Each structure stands twice: as C-alpha cells, then as structure tokens.
Structure 1
Amino acid sequence: MNPIVLIPSRLTSTRLPNKPLADIHGVPMIVHVLRRALEADCGPVAVATDTPAIADAVREAGGQAVMTATDHPSGSDRIQEALGKLDPDGRYDVVLNVQGDLPSIDPRAIRVALAPLETSEVALSTLIAEIRREEERTASQVVKFVGTPLGGGRHRALYFTRATAPWGEGPLWHHIGLYGWRRSALSRFVALPPSVLEQREKLEQLRALEAGMRIDAMEVDVVPLGVDTAEDLERARAILAPRES
C-alpha cells in the first residue's frame, strides 16, 4: 500500500463557531489534528478545506493544505477532490480520512486503520471501541457497529445504527468515524447516490454497505474525543495540556 492521509475541515459547526481554529494552548485545533496525523507516520498528510483561514493556519504551522469547493455534501466528497488535485497521477492507492475535530487522537489508532486494507476484498476500513458507559448503549448520537468478529481485534461490518444493537448478551461497539479507503472504492462511493438506509439513519457509511462494499473494523481501546461543544473543547485542552518537566 502507498497511503496518503487527508483531513477534511470547514467552518460549519453551529454549536462551536470557528471550531477548526479554536485555540488549544496557543495552537489551532486543526493543527493539533495535523500533528497527530504526521506522528502516525503513514504517509504524506494534507488538510482539505474550503476556508482560506484554515489553509493559512495549516501552512503557517508548516503543513500542507489544499483548497476545495464549498458545496461538497460530505467529507468523503471533499477528500476525493483534494486527492485528485494532490495526486492526479494516482500514486497513492489508499486514503486515510481523519476527521478534523479529533485533536487528541492516538496516532497508533490512525495506523491500525490500515491493517484491514491488506485484504484485497476490503473496500474500506474503520475503527470501533467497546461501549462501557451504560448511557451510551441507548444514546442515538453514539453510532453502534454490528459485525462478525474475525479474530485479532478485527470485525467485518454488517450494519451501523443509532439504535441499541445487536440485541442480547454481549458487547456493544461504538463506531469511530475514521476511515481508510481503497482509492478505487472512494471513487465509486462518491459517484453513488445517497442510499435509503443512509438517509434514514443519517449515516454515510451505509451507502457503501448497501452497494455491497466490504467494510472491516479494528478494535481500539479508547474512543477519541470529538470536539463539538465548548465543553468538549475544555476537555481537549485538559487532555493536551503541556506536562511539567
């Protein structure tokens, strides 16, 4: 595999205005995500954005940014455009899509998402973590992964849902929205219309499953903090606080 890491980012949050540029110890949040992706050491890293201020912040930090259209319906469409601009000759055959609101993500979690793509039948990969808090079992904002264990912390996806599933005794799995795409699968995916279940559950990855694309997931120990509110931002600042020597 020859991967590239792309981070889609734009100023669309209503609960936390200017979220990608939020200050975390003197550094914009998007730059923290950039640093975690670089630390993963999977390949070159770039931020795909439609906002000049985000691109400027990334470049001032020494990172690479690529400008994309303002009307993309999803991050997947945004990284598809960015990939075409950055690599028109198709050198990179795998794309890691790291969300721009995960400033404290463990770089090892980014790396582990590559493992399922060593299997040629897998179109895209993702991450899951076991749900351990009782309130998250029924919370609709916590997306549940339903799949078949394959061993070694790897699972084959059967469904994703906001409902509590599967029924019965056993673990429930929290889906983490980081994806590893085979480049050909990403191109196919963005060309497909939104699917019935995707629109019903409001979960983009169901489009891939409904189209017969195989998704495998790897277990990780911790769900990375996604920053959506001012309270989340304060938690991120606490997690990333400089340690005294």
Structure 2
Amino acid sequence: MKILGIIPARYASTRFPGKPLAVIAGKPMIQWVYERASETFEWCYVATDNDTIKQAVEVFGGKVVMTSELHRSGTDRCAEALDIIQSELNEQFDVVVNIQGDEPFIQPQQLNRVVSCFVNPDVQIATLVKPFAPGEDVFNPNSPKVILNRNSEAIYFSRSVIPYVRGKEQSQWPGSFRFLKHIGLYAYRTDILHKITRLQPSPLELAESLEQLRWLENGYRITVVETD
C-alpha cells in the first residue's frame, strides 16, 4: 500500500495570517510538521498557494507543490496536489494522509494509527479523536465533538456538545459522559478523495462549517481511531 502524506498550508487566514511560518524554537511551524510527517511517510509534500511558504519549505529541504488559491478546504488542496505529484513521479498512491500545517506536535504514532485503518479494504476515510481532558472546555465551539456508532464510525460531528445530557446541569456534563474531541487529521483512499472533492457544499456543512459533514450527508463512512 503506497501512502502519500500531504501538508496543506495556506498563508491567508482570518485569525492568524502566515501561521505556517510562525517560528517555534527556531524553526517555522511548517518545518516541524514536515519533519514529523517525514519520519512516517516515504513520500511527503507540502501543498501551498503561497510563494513565501514554498520558499521556506525549499530552504529546509522539504518537497513542495504549488496549488490553486481557490480551494475551499485542505481536502480540496490535497486532491489537486495528489494529481500533480502522481504525474510528476509517475506513481499511483493508494491512500492520502492530510496533515494540517498548524499541527507541529503531531506524533508519528498518530499518523501510523490512522493509516493502519486501511488494512481493512472497506475503510473509505479515517480520522482521529481523543477524549476531552479533565478541566478542558467541552463547550468550546472551536473544538468539534464527534459521536460514534458501534463500528467506530462517525455518526455526527458538531461544534455543539453532543450528545445532550438530559437531566443534568451543564456544569455536570463533563463528568457524566465521555465526550470525544475531533483531531483534524484525515486519511482517504485516493478514489474516495477525488469523489468527495466533487461534492457540493451541504446544508449541515454550511451550518456547522465542518467539511466532513458533507461526506456523511452523501453517505460516505468515516472510520474513527482514538489517540492520546
């Protein structure tokens, strides 16, 4: 099974422009992410739409491809990058792992866990979750929550707290249910990646601003792996 790691990195951001270039312990954030991913994947690339990010990656010796400025999401950018890389290398990949460019502390074992899902030929998309830590704000809308079925597949993702804990004060909810926080790391079979990026934005996706809801609404399955 051939795995391709892609790190989508854009410069424009409403909350933190240029975030991939923010310096942490003497290195740009994107370099930390790239080095972690390269420990796991033989083929690893940054996909960007910005010349400054491209130059920064080339300075530390990373591989980078330029993609369109028009992409709505990192998943869309990964799909274009996949086509470019396969054409340049004359290789065909089985699985693409989408590693966020602002996750400098991602661990190789987390990447390996999400890739291990694809030993099962029925897995289409995989992602990671972890339990909310004691004292962590489960009500924070910037920390999407997910609920699973008995096959460890996502039923729904939400910025709201799910499930609703009936009969308890909200202050008691964190101790009444094991809430799961989504970690924005995805892996997709390459044929599935191309299919989901052709889908139109869906009502639930637009309401929550979570692209994975588009996939669920269209009947795709997302396998979920728990990490620390």
TM-score (normalizing by structure 1): 0.84
- Report percent identity of matched pairs: 40
Mapped to 1, the partners of 2:117 and 2:164 lie a distance apart of 26
Report if aligned partners of 1:42, 1:111 keep a CA contact under 8 Å in 2: no
Counterpart in the other structure of 1:203: 210
The equivalences for 1:12-161 within 5 A come to 12-39=12-39, 41-88=40-87, 89=90, 91-150=92-151, 155-161=152-158
Please say if 1:178 is aligned against 2:179. Answer: no
The alpha carbon displacement at 1:16 in A equals 2.6
Partner amino acid, structure 2, of 1:217: V
Counterpart in the other structure of 1:225: none
- CA-based RMSD of the aligned residues comes to 1.4
Report if aligned partners of 1:8, 1:49 keep a CA contact under 8 Å in 2: yes
The alpha carbon displacement at 1:163 in A equals 1.1
Counterpart in the other structure of 1:227: none
Gap runs ≥5 in structure 2: 166-175
The alpha carbon displacement at 1:108 in A equals 1.0
Give aligned pairs, total.
216
Partner amino acid, structure 1, of 2:178: P
The alpha carbon displacement at 1:133 in A equals 3.7
Q: Secondary structure at the match of 1:165?
A: coil
Counterpart in the other structure of 1:163: 160
Mapped to 1, the partners of 2:211 and 2:91 lie a distance apart of 25
Report if aligned partners of 1:122, 1:213 keep a CA contact under 8 Å in 2: no
Gap runs ≥5 in structure 1: 222-245
Partner amino acid, structure 1, of 2:124: A
Instruction: Detail structure 1 runs of 4+ shifted over 4 Å in the superposition.
Output: none
Mapped to 1, the partners of 2:136 and 2:86 lie a distance apart of 44
Partner amino acid, structure 2, of 1:70: E
Partner amino acid, structure 1, of 2:52: A
| 97 and 170 in structure 1: CA distance in 2 versus 1, 3 angstrom threshold | same
Counterpart in the other structure of 1:232: none
